[in-house]
Amino acid sequence: MNRKQERKRTESGREEKTLQGKDAGRKQEILRTDTLVIGAGASGLAAGISASRRSGVIIADGNDRTGKKLYATGNGRCNFTNAGCSEENYNGGGDGFVSCVLKQFSVQDTLEFFEECGMMSRREEGGRYYPYSGQASSVVRALTREAQRRGCRLFLGDRAVSTEKIGESDTFSVLFESGRRILCRNLIIACGGRAGLKTGSTGDGYGFARTFGHTLVPPRPALTAVESEAGFPPGLKGVRSKGCVCLYRDGRETAREQGEIQFTETGISGICVFDLTRHMEGLQPPGGSGKKRKDTAREEAEHRYEIVCDFVPEKTEEELYLLIRRRMERGYDMQSILEGIVNDRLAAVILEQSGCRAVDAAALLKAMWIPVSHTKGWNEAQVTCGGIRREEIDPRTMQSRLADGLYFCGEVVDVDGRCGGFNLQWAWSSGTVAGRLSGKQCGRMKKFG
């Protein structure tokens, strides 16, 4: 036995002794693999598939099936990417982090990958791509089949509960609820954020990251509806109107979107409103985000937010006023005039608030101010804003700058995008980069186990 073999045997013996000491008296299954991916969602499956080209891979998830959150995306149709993906469509765009990752696995790469997996796609309005079948299940099946074809082992229905590095070795140890322990050379954290709690996204990855010294940008729900408790007009639930929405923070315009505004019983929704919630820093749903830790604590209602709805963005306020005045001069009453412009229930609210005055009606059509009390909670949110700080991750590899062999991808990282396939493209890109580089590292070493 040469020195290298003897050293490896000694380290292996130390690992076994350490693990036995921690779990004395408890029978435990111990497995080894080159790369372990925690999370079998979009980014986790992409990472596992990419890593499997050069290493042995296990993909583990607490859910009993792969891609659970994917089934709910795009109203069950899964808008899996967007032709317009670029850094400006993501939070903090301009620092080069997202751009570096997207360049390594682009939208075109995504389309070609799914085509190779046997899934046809269809491009629709706004550059959105969907599976040709119109079913999210087509995306999940394509990913799962490819992972299995490449030899990835899937361990489902068993949640990871703790992660650590064994002594000064290059080995990670991950304990699962079942008592199973998996040892690996490379660990990829791909278990998502907190958005969509019903699908199993509970923010476990944040705790795993802290184990290795990582810190967080405080997570908050985004791409969700907003609530208004301050005298919200009753009777508008279900009303839809095309228009423009502007977000004001502390009295200054911060973001602007255009699309269909949807009224709920106590607030507003719609894709254009969802996109505004990404800019509502410091705003949490009722009850906040649960137990606050030192690195995530923030004062609630840090800023004052208001949304201004413009129901006729094609015309100026003066043009609307003149239009209303001309129709009044022809004998039309204010209710008929407003019903000729917007939904009749919305017209009734504007009629009441304007007191039938043409100048006030025109002003309300151009600027209905809605104070925001909070966003909807984690169950309704489509994405998490915040997460592991990007400064602590190398975008060329998605490897931790604090722990060699540790990688992050997907929603657990402080990256979030607009509605329309941008967040899933981030999942494919970051997962593929993390898997590709972790697999390459394993390819340089002797097989583990």
| End-to-end Cα distance, the chain | 18
pLDDT tens digit at each of 449 positions of the chain = 455 444 444 444 445 444 544 554 456 789 999 999 999 999 999 999 999 988 899 999 999 999 999 998 988 999 999 999 999 999 866 789 999 999 999 999 999 999 999 999 999 999 999 999 999 999 999 999 999 999 999 999 999 999 999 988 889 999 999 999 999 999 999 999 999 877 777 899 999 999 999 999 999 999 999 999 877 888 899 999 999 999 999 999 999 999 999 999 999 999 999 999 999 987 877 765 444 433 333 344 578 999 999 999 999 999 999 999 999 999 999 999 999 999 999 999 999 999 999 999 999 999 999 999 999 989 899 999 999 999 999 999 999 999 999 999 999 999 999 999 999 999 999 999 999 988 666 654 445 44
342, 375, 408 - which closes a domain: 375
Q: Is residue 191 part of a domain?
A: yes
Q: Answer yes or no: do 27 and 173 share one domain.
A: yes
Q: Answer yes or no: do 51 and 197 share one domain.
A: yes
Q: Answer yes or no: do 364 and 391 share one domain.
A: no
What pLDDT is recorded for position 437? 84
Q: Answer yes or no: do 278 and 316 share one domain.
A: yes
What pLDDT is recorded for position 289? 45
Cβ proximity of 85 and 107 under 8 Å: yes
Q: Is residue 449 part of a domain?
A: no
CA–CA distance, 211 with 232 (Å, rounded to integer): 45
**What tokens does 126 get?**
């706004």
Q: Answer yes or no: do 302 and 428 share one domain.
A: no
Q: Answer yes or no: do 249 and 308 share one domain.
A: yes
Q: Which domain holds residue 339?
A: 225-375
Q: Answer yes or no: do 335 and 404 share one domain.
A: no
What pLDDT is recorded for position 25? 47
Q: Is residue 195 part of a domain?
A: yes
What pLDDT is recorded for position 144? 98
Q: Answer yes or no: do 139 and 247 share one domain.
A: no
Q: Answer yes or no: do 46 and 185 share one domain.
A: yes
Q: Answer yes or no: do 294 and 406 share one domain.
A: no
340, 375, 410 - which closes a domain: 375
Domain count of the fold of the chain? 2
Our CA dihedral for 154, 148, 423, 86, rounded to 10 degrees, sits at: 140
Q: Is residue 448 part of a domain?
A: no
Q: Answer yes or no: do 323 and 405 share one domain.
A: no
Q: Is residue 26 part of a domain?
A: yes
What pLDDT is recorded for position 134? 96
Domain containing residue 172: CATH number: 3.50.50.60
339, 358, 375 - which closes a domain: 375
Q: Is residue 316 part of a domain?
A: yes
Q: Answer yes or no: do 138 and 159 share one domain.
A: yes
